[in-house]
Structure 1
Amino acid sequence: MKYYQIDIETSETGIEAAVGKLLSIGIEDTEVSDPRDIQEIMDKKESYEWDYIDGEVTERMKETPRVTVYTEDPSQAREIRTAIGELAAEAAEGMFGPGADLGSLEVTVTEQDDSLWKDRWKEYFHPFRVSERIVIRPTWEPLPAELADAEAVIEIDPGMAFGTGTHETTAMCIQMLEEYVKPGMRVLDAGCGSGILSIAAAKLGAAEVLGVDIDETAVEVAKANLVQNGVDSTAGAAYGDVTEGVDFTADLVVANLMAELICMITPDIPAHLAPGGVFITSGILTEKKEMVVKQLRDAGFAVDRICDKEEWCCIAARLPEKDGAR
């Protein structure tokens, strides 16, 4: 589908005037890029628990304020040019006060064609071996001969929920699951996202797997992926929070989240584990490893194994045989 992206360069004080002018010609749907919004968040960063910030976000702080309109109608582009030209004339006449700076009010129209890029991301996602026994492949690409010896294949496409196996944290979780999952186990996947860890557990021999997430979209994506991989009779996905309202006792709990979230849910994990049960967790920056280890020990776990990859780590911890839920 072809469409037009219309960018209006303005200033911090000109954003409101530009949006108002567009409203006057019946255009209500606009996108405003204002570096002040990002700066405001950055100024309050101590109030947030972030593990990282995308470099693209900080680069946007250097940009000129901009108002953008997307349309399929080329005549609307001409109409916007005319309206913004009128706005520039009004500013020059002092209608916005002496010395009011509305920016350049330069209008740039770019013709876009989403057919050129909507499938381009597929060029970067191919079958790969994520662990000794498991290979991951996208649904649109056949398994190459060099990966045909895999014991299990997970079919998953990038989509609306986290987890395709390419990120270090997901890969380490799968590798840990391969080591700890035994046939007949019950597994709880806390914050299941795409359901990839639930699928891995089921394919590794778990008898019953439950994935829970507080994102309803993720739950629906996970359900579809369980069906796609033929494990929906063994594994299920449901809306839920392990800190309340989830009635499931497992032999193993896996959670690929963030360090702060892991610390928050860790005191509740023993209630979901059988005696001697294992808690595998990742999404932890190495600099926050000790914080998580302390929380695990405070909750009664003994750290069994820690593995590191790049700046991330994955931890496997175990409850004593005589403690935990029954």
Structure 2
Amino acid sequence: MKWSELKVHTTNEAIEPISNILHEAGASGVVIEDPQDLYLKDDVKLFGTIYELDPNQYPEEGVYIKAYLPVNSFLGETVDEIKLAISNLVKYGIDIGKNNVTISEVNEEDWATAWKKYYKPVKISEKITIIPTWEEYEPVSSDEIIIELDPGMAFGTGTHPTTVLSIQALEQYVDEGDIVYDVGSGSGVLTIAAALLGARHIKAYDLDEVAVKSTQNNVKLNQVQDRIEAKQNNLLEDVEAGADVIVSNILAEIILEFIDDAFSKVKPGGYFITSGIIQGKKNDVKDALTSIGFDIVEVNAMEDWISIVAKKPE
């Protein structure tokens, strides 16, 4: 079978919305080539990140997002729809950068092999290491937590700075027996991390059906399905209150839409962990959090990304 590789040259800010556009268009997998990944090991060198990446495949600025679409009679129409949807992101204040879109043809065997070179075991915090399903890995300590992921189904391989920041915050603030809500679960990596860190029950929500299925599959892969409820839902709409921790790794613009819901649905003394925030939106999110009543506990940064941990007063 023939596949077309569609490559979009864009910005870090646009990774998640463009990835979502590509998945909804029927892409069988998305690869993100971010030159910052070449240096991520320097940012988390204490955790021993493992990479086998070729710098020549990465842009000098911005990122490449590659999607794989089957070659059929509808391909041209699909590509046009993708281009239009990406261009429309500027209406929401999202910087799409150069927005250069190119197409090339690849064989299915080449595509399948290409996937695996992008994903290697990554130790991203004191306790947690993420490994793709096809990699063999021996834990280096008795208390190391291993998360297995199949990254081919939805955005969220665990290696992006926003995910690293989120997991590091979960490791610090999730206590044994907590109830956690993961808003915008993607591949389910944060949901799984919360479970393995001792959360009693996790509710994982995503508007994208592909992401919900990916979360469910990865949850089963890590054998924590007995504590996790993954379902399609728009943010925290019609969700009952009672979370000890709410975590959301999505765009700042979306976080701003449900801060009031997060405040009403997290317990007094509970935490709201937000990530996926670019530097330019940091103060917008901080101001919105404090204006609704949250106390800012900490603000962390990795590369151009921000994570904010807020606490609801007791």
Alignment pair present for 1:53 and 2:46: no
Q: Quote how far apart the aligned CAs of 1:119 are.
A: 2.1
Task: Give the distance between the partners of 2:134 and 2:81, measured in 1 at CA.
Answer: 42
Alignment pair present for 1:204 and 2:197: yes
Instruction: Compare relative contact order (CA 8 Å, sep 6+) and give the higher one, 1 or 2.
Output: 2
Q: Quote how far apart the aligned CAs of 1:164 are.
A: 1.4
Distance 1:125 1:150, change over 3 A: farther
- Matching residue's letter, 1:58: N
Distance 1:149 1:125, change over 3 A: farther
Unaligned segments of structure 1, at least 5 residues? 6-26, 61-67, 69-109, 322-326
- Structural mapping, 1:156-305, within 5 Å: 156-305=149-298
- Matching residue's letter, 2:137: L
- Matching residue's letter, 1:31: G
TM-score of the pair, normalised by structure 1: 0.69
Tell me, what secondary structure is at the counterpart of 1:53?
coil
Answer whether contact 1:190 1:213 (CA < 8 A) is retained.
Answer: yes
Task: Give the distance between the partners of 1:289 and 1:308, measured in 2 at CA.
Answer: 10
Task: Give the distance between the partners of 2:263 and 2:150, measured in 1 at CA.
Answer: 33
Task: Give the distance between the partners of 1:278 and 1:219, measured in 2 at CA.
Answer: 24
Q: Quote how far apart the aligned CAs of 1:297 are.
A: 0.7
Aligned CA RMSD, in angstroms, stands at 2.8
Unaligned segments of structure 2, at least 5 residues? 5-71
Deviations 1:133-184 (A, max 9, x none): 0000011111146x45552100002122221111000010000000101111
The count of residues paired between Structure 1 and Structure 2 equals 247
Distance 1:129 1:298, change over 3 A: same
Answer whether contact 2:207 2:233 (CA < 8 A) is retained.
Answer: yes
Tell me, what secondary structure is at the counterpart of 1:153?
strand
Alignment pair present for 1:127 and 2:121: yes
Answer whether contact 2:294 2:310 (CA < 8 A) is retained.
Answer: yes
Larger Rg: 1
Q: Quote how far apart the aligned CAs of 1:54 are.
A: 6.0
Q: Which runs of 4+ in 1 moved over 6 A?
A: 33-37
- Matching residue's letter, 1:134: I
Task: Give the distance between the partners of 2:115 and 2:143, measured in 1 at CA.
Answer: 25
Deviations 1:176-234 (A, max 9, x none): 00010111111111111111101000101111111111112211111111111011111
Task: Give the distance between the partners of 1:120 and 1:213, measured in 2 at CA.
Answer: 28
Task: Give the distance between the partners of 1:139 and 1:171, measured in 2 at CA.
Answer: 19
**Correspondence for 1:31 among 68, 72, 76:** 76
Task: Give the distance between the partners of 1:243 and 1:128, measured in 2 at CA.
Answer: 31
Distance 1:29 1:150, change over 3 A: same
